[in-house]
């Protein structure tokens, strides 16, 4: 085959992947008995709130990866690279969120004139229309007739009650500012070579704003920020489909779970509801657990009344958790990625000290899979993309690699590869025993290394 034939064969292969993955996604929607979502939908599809969407996510990962690769090959490079930076969707989303545009439009499903909308949100009408037109290109809001806008299934995410919208707001308002000083943080004498959390790009911005103290203090000292953060965690959970862990881990076979860094119970509340036999311990900083108790009283009072749930404050960098439980869910879900190796090892070492012979630690996080994998680690049985896609699904893994950047910008930390997690576990006497691949996140199970 000549090089030219080969190049064309690769394009055809990408087209085939786009076709088959889109058909797979359509089938997933139809399997619910509620048909496929439409571009004109003004309500969520049943599958949008399902807790196990692994099959859909697998199809979308292929679809997004293949169409970005196809378009990057076929479009002039000037277009593609300019598209990377000529992208103010985040700023438009920020306006829509702060002005609560989706909340106003929600009361007018047939659409509202931009005159009345702009008046309701106290913004200039022609500027408001430009924001909405920019977002409508992407299917977020719709111009139903000239200068009349309505919500779509995408813009419903921007309603003030939506947790994923809250997560988006945390990024559009804060993380974008930190991204603006990334190069500076890589060249500043004090920050450039440090991997400590107090040298994150965020700190450079915070200092200028007169904000001091670590991230968790900053959040916990401010009621509004704390509430927004915990809602954003619920949103992150929905966005990455992390609740699939409820369906794919053998919870029936265990009796006690400690949720380390539980937050307000994003994971443990649905776990208690779905598996009433489990005894659950929530462990986090004292001020967070006070909020967690309120959330549990509101969302799952029955579990509190049964006495199946306890709240034990601790500092995971200094204290050990409660002793001898079956599972230490270090969901470390979205915890380990908040800390550099030294602190991450301290957290795991503290857990290791109280584990019994049958205890396991579950690290539930994004797991990066680079296109060139460590030779001694290989793919470890994880799915890789078909040729000619990049093995790690390329743009299909967009959110995981952007989350890695988010961790850098906020905490000066990172998402890890499976190889890095293995090394981290081994450094404190834990061995990897199983990986549950939930597409955007993975649950990596460790047990005590047998000597």
Ligand X SMILES: C[S@@+](CC[C@H](N)C(=O)[O-])C[C@H]1O[C@@H](n2cnc3c(N)ncnc32)[C@H](O)[C@@H]1O
Summarize as ranges the residues that interact with ligand X (CB under 6 A): 216, 233, 261-263, 266-267, 284-285, 288, 315-317, 331, 333-335, 338
Question: CB-wise, 385 or 409, nearer to ligand X?
Answer: 409
Residues 6 or more apart in contact with residue 116 via CB below 8 angstroms: none
To the nearest whole angstrom, how small is the minimum distance from the Cβ of residue 344 to ligand X?
Answer: 12
Question: CB-wise, 153 or 331, nearer to ligand X?
Answer: 331
| CA dist 176 → 59, 61, 173, 181, 208 (Å) | 30, 25, 7, 9, 15
To the nearest whole angstrom, how small is the minimum distance from the Cβ of residue 369 to ligand X?
Answer: 21
CB-CB contact of 272 with 76 (8 Å): no
| CA dist 112 → 76, 102, 129, 141 (Å) | 39, 11, 11, 11
To the nearest whole angstrom, how small is the minimum distance from the Cβ of residue 335 to ligand X?
Answer: 5
To the nearest whole angstrom, how small is the minimum distance from the Cβ of residue 177 to ligand X?
Answer: 19
Question: CB-wise, 303 or 366, nearer to ligand X?
Answer: 366
Question: CB-wise, 61 or 333, nearer to ligand X?
Answer: 333
To the nearest whole angstrom, how small is the minimum distance from the Cβ of residue 233 to ligand X?
Answer: 4
Cis amide bond preceding 34, omega within 30 = no
H or E element that contains 310: strand 309-311
To the nearest whole angstrom, how small is the minimum distance from the Cβ of residue 178 to ligand X?
Answer: 16
Contacts 24+ apart (CB under 8 A), 399-407: 399/239, 399/240, 399/366, 399/440, 400/366, 400/367, 400/368, 400/440, 401/368, 403/337, 403/366, 404/366, 404/368, 405/179, 406/171, 406/175, 407/337, 407/338
DSSP 397: G
Question: CB-wise, 167 or 191, nearer to ligand X?
Answer: 167
Question: CB-wise, 95 or 335, nearer to ligand X?
Answer: 335
In order, the DSSP letters of 147-159 are TEEE--TTGGGGS
Question: CB-wise, 134 or 312, nearer to ligand X?
Answer: 312
To the nearest whole angstrom, how small is the minimum distance from the Cβ of residue 266 to ligand X?
Answer: 3
């Amino acid at each position: 085959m000549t090089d030219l034939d080969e190049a064309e064969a690769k394009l055809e292969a990408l087209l085939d992947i786009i076709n088959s993955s889109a058909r797979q996604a359509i089938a997933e929607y139809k399997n619910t008995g509620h048909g496929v979502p439409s571009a004109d939908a003004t309500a969520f599809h049943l599958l949008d709130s399902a807790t196990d969407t692994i099959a859909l996510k697998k199809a979308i990962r292929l679809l997004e990866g293949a169409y970005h690769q196809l378009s990057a090959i076929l479009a002039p490079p000037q277009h593609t690279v300019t598209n990377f930076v000529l992208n103010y969707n985040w700023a438009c989303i920020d306006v829509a969120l702060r002005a609560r545009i989706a909340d106003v439009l929600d009361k007018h499903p047939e659409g509202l004139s931009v005159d009345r909308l702009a008046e309701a949100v106290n913004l200039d009408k022609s500027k408001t229309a430009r924001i909405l037109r920019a977002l409508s290109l992407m299917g977020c809001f719709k111009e139903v007739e000239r200068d009349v806008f309505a919500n779509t299934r995408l813009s419903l995410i921007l309603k003030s009650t939506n947790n994923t919208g809250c997560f988006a707001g945390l990024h559009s308002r804060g993380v974008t500012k930190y991204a603006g000083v990334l190069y500076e943080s890589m060249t500043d004498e004090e920050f450039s070579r440090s991997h400590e959390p107090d040298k994150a790009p965020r700190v450079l911005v915070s200092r200028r704003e007169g904000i001091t103290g670590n991230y968790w203090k900053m959040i916990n000292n401010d009621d509004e920020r704390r509430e927004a953060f915990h809602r954003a965690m619920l949103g992150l959970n929905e966005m990455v489909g992390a609740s699939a862990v409820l369906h794919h881990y053998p919870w029936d076979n265990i009796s006690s779970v400690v949720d380390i860094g539980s937050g307000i119970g994003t994971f443990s509340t649905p776990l208690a509801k779905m598996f009433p036999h489990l005894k659950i311990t929530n462990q986090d900083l004292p001020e967070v657990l006070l909020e967690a108790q309120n959330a549990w009283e509101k969302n799952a009072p029955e579990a509190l009344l049964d006495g199946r749930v306890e709240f034990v404050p601790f500092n995971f960098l200094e204290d050990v958790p409660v002793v001898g439980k079956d599972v230490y869910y270090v969901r470390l879900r979205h915890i380990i990625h908040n800390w550099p190796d030294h602190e991450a090892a301290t957290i795991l070492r503290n857990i290791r000290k109280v584990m019994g012979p049958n205890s396991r630690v579950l690290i539930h996080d994004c797991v990066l899979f680079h296109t060139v994998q460590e030779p001694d680690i290989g793919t470890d049985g994880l799915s890789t993309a078909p040729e000619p896609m990049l093995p790690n699904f390329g743009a299909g893994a967009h959110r995981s690699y952007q989350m890695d950047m988010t961790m850098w910008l906020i905490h000066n930390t990172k998402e890890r590869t499976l190889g890095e997690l293995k090394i981290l576990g081994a450094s404190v006497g834990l061995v990897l025993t199983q990986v549950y691949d939930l597409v955007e996140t993975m649950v990596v199970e460790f047990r005590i290394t047998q000597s």
